[in-house]
Amino acid sequence: MSIPFSPNVSEAARRDILELESKISVFRSGDVPEEAFRKFRLARGVYGQRQPGVQMIRIKLPYGRITADQLVRIADCSDKYATGNLHATTRQDIQLHFVKLADSPALWAELEDAHITLREACGNTVRNVTASARAGIDPEEPFDVTPHAHAIFDYFLRNPICQDMGRKFKIAVSSSEKDSAYAFMHDVGLIPLVRYAEDGTPIHGFKVLVGGGLGAQPLLAQVAHEFLEEQFVIPFIEAVIRVFDRYGERVRRHKARMKFLLADIGLEEFLKRVEEEQKALKNKEYTIPTLPFPISEVKAGESTLTKEDLIAAAPDLNSPYTHWLKTNVFEQKQKGWYAVQLRVLLGDMHSSTARQLAEIVREYAADDIRVTVNQGYILRFVKADDLPAIYDRLQALGLAEPGFDTTADITTCPGTDTCNLAISSSYGITRVLETMMKEEFPDIIYNNDIKIKISGCMNGCGQHSASNIGFHGSSIKNGKFVLPALQVLLGGGFNGAGEGMMGDKVIKLPTKRGPAALRTLLLDYETNAYEGEYYNDYFLRQGNKYFYSMLKPLADLTTVVSSDYVDWDHEEPFQTEVGVGECASVLIDLVATTIIEANDKLAWANENLEKAIWADAIYHAYNVFVTGAKALLVSKGIPTNTQYGIVRDFDEHFGADFSDLSEGASFKELVFSINKNEPTEAFAREFVAKATRFVEKVNAIRRQQLESEGEPELALVEFGKDS
């Protein structure tokens, strides 16, 4: 297949796409193991679905920003290669489903023509950098964090320090201390602050949080810096990633996130190791560059009307338009300009709707759409006089439902519709709960304090642990049969003081009783909460046992009926099953596969030497040592895990065989000299040269092993889903 690249596609992107096309061909010929190919394609946004033979393509949109033209391009690609649906995620990406593997390079090329990437949207890399969708227009922000979020995205894209980590790494940037980007649940979370010098000059910086995460064991992030000046933020993140890369778990995937490393060694020791990386950093300071595009391209002619004026002028104070004005529109920090928020059921938008939305943006708003963390969209710089017209246009598209980011606006993952690990339907229960609230609690569109989030399993793509009322898919055994179930969690999200919290598990109940459970919780809160009491404060006051007792009758399995054995959106009896795809087992020669990886990394090190990118060449060479050492340890049946442990164990078992490389020092001292030296040309050339000799010797030793021991037994490798 020949891909016709447009001039807009960068050289780096062309190389990525051609390499993906080549790897697909080699994989189909059977010459590359599934595990190696899986790692490769995930880092390029190509993700296996529950359904065999098709892929989900995750489109990486830094801080959720897209233009009207980009939205149209994504819609066109969905029509051409997928199903015509655009699914907005909680990480401000857009996903396309049911894409053929062979079509993914061409799809990517068409996206890159519009300056959209797939690179590192999945896999054990730095994932999409999320940020408050209100950044730049937030009335409460101390400064616009859009340039900072973009700089973080750009700095770590294709950066060698984060191409092969033990697990994924997530970064969020909030626009104000309200933390609307959920910094408290990220590997690194940033909250903007301003301090003032003695002469009154403002100094921009961030409160820096580290080690947060969701999943089966959610943990709150810890404060690493109360205030870090903006020029030190990216170097700090780089050092954090280097520490995680070196010391993080790599075998037990359920323990491989940075939050567990932090829990194991403690914040003080973690920050000490971060400080030890400073000498080796490419940049000790990093000035945030201006954005490569205009921050906003506004239409001419602002208005002096306030939101109160607009509501008062509405012909009917109880009309859908008035409800929409109150809940989906806010005045920006730029006086006289308004932002319009779009509530999107399930985060799904048809391609035809997306094209018409792009036309509305071109006519009425700035060319700067933001996908939100609750799976909606924000349009910016809308004139007050245009709000009635834009409402009518959005209403015709089904995009003017009031209650954006309120209790009525549930966040959800796709669940069993496409996901391998999902246990029960997320989409089905979300539709039912939203319908129930609209019919029985119509005023709930004005409640901004209770958020409801749903995931199809405990892994938390729907962020259920970070919501006041959360549900995740599960199952319950009842005799010989199994029911689809919901695990109920309460008390996540924010309390009345604006502090982030993780939800507590309360009870598991049949999923068909989800509406009754939510109804019970909302009525109880209406009846018994103090005036103005936040839901989480109410939950803590009443205690977990109070809510367990309240919901326990709904968990009674002696009263189940036949419909309880059928999941929402389904007609057949429920079965617990995990799709194959990303969770398959495969027989491979682990040693050969690992040596191939070492040789690939050596090629990247030499390539960066040629380009005079010394720091990147050094880090690739470091990975050569680690990967080659792992290969020989595996050849002797010695378990491998963290990079630090691999180097230590290699020193013990093979160090004497490689003493000529280290010039009197240990292998461990040789490898970890990476953070004892500045990333100079001299050190880079010396380090890469030693890595080259190291790989040559590893290859020679492996050849000797095969000659004396014969062909290796293939190893059955199991790998879990990467969400």
Give the pLDDT confidence of 250-272 residue by residue, as tens digits: 888 788 899 999 999 999 999 99
Residue 48 falls in which region: left (phi positive, over 0), alpha (psi -120 to 50) or beta: beta
Task: Give the pLDDT score at 262.
Answer: 95
Between CA 526 and CA 533 the distance in angstroms is 10
Find tokens 């057949």 and name the residue.
572
C-beta of residue 369 within 8 angstroms of C-beta of residue 378? yes
Res. 540: pLDDT tops 60: yes
Give the pLDDT of residue 583.
Answer: 34
Percent of the chain beyond pLDDT 90? 74
**How does pLDDT run across 387-398, given as a tens digit for each residue?**
999 999 999 999
What confidence score (pLDDT) does residue 448 get?
A: 92
Host H or E run for residue 196: strand 188-196
- Average pLDDT estimate for 312-336: 90
Taking CA 133 as the corner, what is the angle to CA 243 and CA 142, rounded to the nearest 5 degrees?
80
Cα-Cα end-to-end distance for the chain: 30
What are the pLDDT digits (tens) for 405-439? 999 999 998 887 777 777 888 999 999 999 999 99
Question: What's the token pair of residue 334?
Answer: 């730029």
Specify the pLDDT at position 719: 39
The pLDDT assigned to 712 comes to 59
Give tens-digit pLDDT for 629-675: 999 998 888 988 999 999 999 999 998 888 888 777 899 999 999 99
Q: Between 593 and 424, whose confidence is greater? A: 424
What span, in angstroms and rounded, lies between the C-alpha atoms of 376 and 582?
Answer: 28
The answer to whether the CB of 247 falls within 8 A of the CB of 642 is yes
pLDDT, residue 133, reads: 97
**Predicted local distance difference test score (pLDDT) of residue 299:** 54
The β-bridge partners of 488 are 471, 507
Judged on CB neighbours under 10 Å (0-12, 13-18, 19+), 201 is exposed
Q: Residue 561: pLDDT band by 50, 70, 90 thresholds?
A: very high
Rounded Cα distance, 246 and 675, in Å: 11
Least confident range of 512-526, 531-545, 579-593, 597-611? 579-593
For 19-76, write each residue's pLDDT tens digit. 999 988 888 877 777 777 888 898 898 988 888 888 999 999 999 999 999 999 999 9
Gyration radius of the chain's alpha carbons? 26
DSSP-derived letter for residue 219 is B
3-state secondary structure of 423: coil
Contact status, residue 80 vs residue 343, Cβ threshold 8 Å: no
| The token pair that represents 718 in the structure block | 């199991």
Strands 452-455 and 411-412, bridge-based pairing: parallel
Q: How many residues does the chain have?
A: 723
Which three-class secondary structure state does DSSP give residue 472?
strand
pLDDT over 70 for what percent of the chain?
Answer: 95
pLDDT higher than threshold 80 for residue 723? no
Q: Which residues on adjacent β-strands are paired with residue 117?
A: 60
**What is the band of 586 on the pLDDT scale with cuts at 50, 70, 90?**
very low
pLDDT band at 1 (very low <50, low <70, confident <90, very high): low
119-163: per-residue pLDDT in tens? 999 999 999 999 999 999 999 999 999 999 999 999 999 999 999
Mean pLDDT across 527-544? 95
- Domains of the chain with CATH codes: 11-112 (3.90.480.20), 138-280 (3.30.413.10), 307-396 (3.90.480.20), 411-581 (3.30.413.10), 585-718 (1.20.120.330)
Closest CA to 196 of 225, 233, 174, 227: 227
Summarised one tens digit per residue, pLDDT across range 500-531 is 999 999 999 999 999 999 999 999 999 999 99
The pair of structure tokens assigned to 311 is 């509501």
User: Going by C-beta distance under 8 Å and a sequence separation of 6 or more, which residues neighbour residue 573?
Assistant: 481, 565, 566
Task: Note the pLDDT of residue 472.
Answer: 94
The torsion defined by the Cα of 101, 103, 105 and 107, in degrees rounded to 10, comes to -130
Q: What letter does residue 169 receive in the DSSP assignment?
A: B
Tell me the C-alpha distance between 670 and 687, whole Å.
9
- Is the pLDDT reported for residue 614 higher than 70? yes
